[in-house]
């Protein structure tokens, strides 16, 4: 039975080492921001820099390992129907909407949703690093400029991540207009327990 993250919301949960986290885009073209912290010590967190460095690519997919800031494996990607995710950009935040979209009105955000749900694990806003932005489609142009396109995910597409340590995890259905082809949809996920 899949759990559902309603549009522009988020959740947080625990994984044990060996658990499989399956993230599903039920309708297509929807981004889900993922972040993780070691349960043993929240100062160990999912690191974009380490992961990209060791994989030697910004496009992480099946077979790649997502590392912590302490260079320990946190996840292995075991299945990837889409093959395009982003690990360069931060979770959308109220400031994202003010600076990029010139929108200072109240707006849900991945950062806000992660803060809300990770608080019960003692994780504070300043602890939240660059997120692994599942299904987010970011291209780098020859000039170095970034181009955000519609996600390549279609209805029912899946990514599966094997937890390599005990983790606190935050996961959202992204709230940013451009990242989701200007329509907000739910995200689903399933945890297949190792034991
Ligand atoms: Zn977002």
The string over 40-69, giving b where at least 16 C-beta atoms fall within 10 Å of a residue's C-beta and e elsewhere, is eeeebbbbbebbbeebeeeebeeebbbbbb
Ligand 1 centre to CA of 90 (Å) is 8
Angstrom distance (rounded) from CA 14 to CA 129:
18
Confidence (pLDDT) at 32 = 98
Q: What is the pTM of this model?
A: 0.96
For tokens 């608080």, the residue is 119
- The overall average pLDDT reported for the chain is 96
Confidence (pLDDT) at 100 = 86
Ligand 1 centre to CA of 108 (Å) is 9
Structural Rg of the chain based on CA atoms: 15
Angstrom distance (rounded) from CA 96 to CA 47:
21
Tens of pLDDT, residue by residue over 86-145, are 999 999 999 999 998 888 888 899 999 999 999 999 999 999 999 999 999 999 999 999
Ligand 1 centre to CA of 31 (Å) is 7
Query: Of the candidates 38, 17, 26, 2, which has an alpha carbon nearest to the alpha carbon of residue 185?
Result: 26
Ligand 1 centre to CA of 23 (Å) is 16
pLDDT at 195 over 80: no
Ligand 1 centre to CA of 69 (Å) is 22
Q: Are 65 and 186 in contact (CB under 8 A)?
A: no
Q: Ligand 1 being an ion, which residues bring their Cβ within 5 A of it?
A: 92, 110, 174-176
Ligand 1 centre to CA of 195 (Å) is 32
C-alpha distance across the termini of the chain, in Å: 17
């Amino acid at each position: 039975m899949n759990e559902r993250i309603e549009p522009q919301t988020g959740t947080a949960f625990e994984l044990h080492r060996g658990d499989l986290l399956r993230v599903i885009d039920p309708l297509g073209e929807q981004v889900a921001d993922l972040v993780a912290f070691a349960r043993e010590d929240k100062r160990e967190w999912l690191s974009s820099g380490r992961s990209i460095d060791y994989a030697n690519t910004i496009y992480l997919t099946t077979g790649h390992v997502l590392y912590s800031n302490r260079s320990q494996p946190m996840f292995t990607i075991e299945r990837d129907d889409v093959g395009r995710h982003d690990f360069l950009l931060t979770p959308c935040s109220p400031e994202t909407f003010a600076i990029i979209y010139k929108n200072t009105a109240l707006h849900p955000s991945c950062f806000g949703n992660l803060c809300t749900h990770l608080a019960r694990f003692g994780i504070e806003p300043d602890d939240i690093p660059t997120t692994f932005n599942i299904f987010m489609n970011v291209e780098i142009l020859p000039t170095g400029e970034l181009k955000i396109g519609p996600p390549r995910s279609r209805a029912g597409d899946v990514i599966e991540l094997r937890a390599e340590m005990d983790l606190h995890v935050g996961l959202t259905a992204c709230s940013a207009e451009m990242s989701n082809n200007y329509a907000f949809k739910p995200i689903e996920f399933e945890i297949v327990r190792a034991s």
